[in-house]
Amino acid sequence: MSAINVEIISQLEDNYAFVLYDNTREACIIDPAESMPIIEYLNNKNLKVKDIFITHHHKDHTSGIEGLIKNFPQVNIHSPNPQIENSRFILQNNDEVESRINSFKIISTPGHTLDHIVYYDDDNKILFSGDTLFRLGCGRVFEGTLNQMYSSLQKIKELKNNTTMYCGHEYTINNLNFLENTLNKKVLYNDVRQKIESDIKVHDKSIPFHLDEEKSYNLFLNQESQIGELVKHELKLGNFELFKYLRERKDNF
Ligand SMILES: [Fe+2]
């Protein structure tokens, strides 16, 4: 198998879609919101697209489907929910699904929505986390319960430490400001702030990011890091209580 390329396509205000391709010029797409910039990229690179993968039913992850079908009528839509327009293959927890260039393991992550899934490619060690995990944050709990979201994040936490993560929105600086303010541990976030600011300066975006670093700093994902233990001790909270404390405050930040 040849190496896979992941192109991050900015969409709408702060969304990301992804084009995955290899040197066979075959491609697949994740979470298209706007078809035009994606079609432009595919045409420039002379890529053929056969598969689109959707993480959840929100419009800002699906509204590009229609335009892509018009340009690539043979494309297959894979999604977790038959109500998502043009869904042909419905995916469930633990399914293995193949595109022309790679294969994904499906991990069900209810919380943000009930239908939410994330796409994990174990060969390439990449995860597409949609609106479940963001860099230094997690999605707002709209449809599920806090318990569900907590369990969903635990599943991501258990993936291999060298996993590269691609999330659905550029919310990182806001998430970082929230953690610094809420935890009052600004100095402990110095290193990661420097890294994030440099990522944004160089690439104009803060993604992708890495699971091992995320486990040190993202207390929504991991409450057992050094910072997590410190905060739990101060606030006299357990793991889930700390997650709940942060998620509830973030809703009003
Ligand atoms: Fe969403």
Query: Which ranges in the chain belong to alpha helices (H)?
Result: 35-44, 65-71, 146-157, 172-183, 190-203, 211-217, 226-235, 239-250
Residue 3: the pLDDT is 85
- The pTM score is 0.97
Full domain range(s) for residue 65: 5-250
Residue 2: the pLDDT is 61
What three-state secondary structure class fits 37? helix
CA atoms in the 13 A half-sphere facing the CB of 33:
19
Kindly tell me if the per-residue pLDDT of 26 is higher than 90: yes
Residue 167: the pLDDT is 98
d(CA 116, ligand 1 centre) in Å? 9
Contacts of 13 (CB under 8 A, 6+ apart): none
Q: How many domains does the chain contain in total?
A: 1
- Summarised one tens digit per residue, pLDDT across range 82-121 is 999 999 999 999 999 999 999 999 999 999 999 999 999 9
d(CA 187, ligand 1 centre) in Å? 32
d(CA 141, ligand 1 centre) in Å? 10
What is the rounded average pLDDT for all residues in the chain?
97
d(CA 88, ligand 1 centre) in Å? 21
Kindly tell me if the per-residue pLDDT of 1 is higher than 60: no
Q: Which amino acid is at 31?
A: D
d(CA 236, ligand 1 centre) in Å? 32
d(CA 98, ligand 1 centre) in Å? 24
Q: Which band of pLDDT confidence, cut at 50, 70 and 90, is reported for residue 194?
A: very high
Residue 83: the pLDDT is 97
What CATH number should be reported for the domain holding residue 112? 3.60.15.10
- Summarised one tens digit per residue, pLDDT across range 202-225 is 999 999 999 999 999 999 999 999
